[in-house]
Amino acid sequence: MPTGCKELIPLENPDQLHQHLYMDRVQWLSLGDNLKKSIIIIAALCCAALCFDAMAEDSTSTSKLTILRADSGKNLSDMNLSLYSAINDFGISGINVGEAVKFTAPNAGWKLNWIEVMGWSGFNNTTQTFPSDRNFLIEIRDKDYNLLYKFADEQNNYFLSTTPPTGFSAIEIPALQVTGDFYVVFYDRGAMGIAMESDNGTGNSYFFMNGQMIPAQFKMTDTNETIKVNWMIRAVGK
């Protein structure tokens, strides 16, 4: 296990994934609540494959496809990654809270073809079973938050594995032309955890709730330091 990484805590119950996703106590800054949580850094993410070296730029062209990213640009193996679920903070209301990332179409006529998300359904090491199927939701919204596309599916069709993720899962959508700034909004809905990068926040990640984009940032209770996070979501198109 790499130096500085925490040992992964086994999940006693696959339907209680989010009780074990965190290590440090934090509270919300953007919402003004005193909600607290603990963050566990996923050991496997520290060992992510070096094949992502080619993604060091903000956007990468491969076979005429462009990968848009709004994270720090580091290799996955160098990122401080953890799992997050809105349900853990907002309770049942978290079903309607989305993890959103703002992107900018690289040119006129650019079409979005699929979304890449790093996430995990969870796995019960004791019973060797996966969690039950539940739906996540994806929305594509324009710069004014108008809905352009919506898609829902079962999380186990994309994020099923016995170990935490070391890469992204691709979710294909019908080719969708976008112009200028647009948002990809992912609702985990308590079905899974979505990966977030807790260092080097770019300011392009938000919570989408009640029709508003709220910056995704936290205040650490032990240091009183404010940190911005990056949701591990990417947009691919041409």
Q: Confidence class of residue 63 from pLDDT cuts 50, 70 and 90?
A: low
Count the domains in the chain.
1
Q: Read off the pLDDT of each residue in 67-95 and give the average, rounded to a whole number.
A: 94
Does the residue 218 lie in any domain?
Answer: yes
Q: Confidence class of residue 197 from pLDDT cuts 50, 70 and 90?
A: very high
Does the residue 161 lie in any domain?
Answer: yes
pLDDT of 2 > 60? The answer is no
DSSP string spanning the chain? --TTPPPPPPPS-GGGGGGGSEEEEEEESTT----EEEE-B-HHHHT--GGGGGG-SSEEEETTEEEEE-S----GGGS-EEEE-HHHHHGGGGGG-EEEEEEE-SSTT-EEEEEEE-EE---BTTTTBPPPP-EEEEEEEETT--EEEEEEEEGGGTS--SS--SS-EEEEEEEEE--SEEEEEEE-TTSSEEEEE-SS--S-EEEEETTEEEE-EEEETTT--EEE-EE-EEEEE-
Query: What is the span of the domain harbouring residue 119?
Result: 14-237
Tens digit of each residue's pLDDT (9 = 90 or more) over 18-39: 333 333 323 333 333 333 333 3
Does the residue 9 lie in any domain?
Answer: no
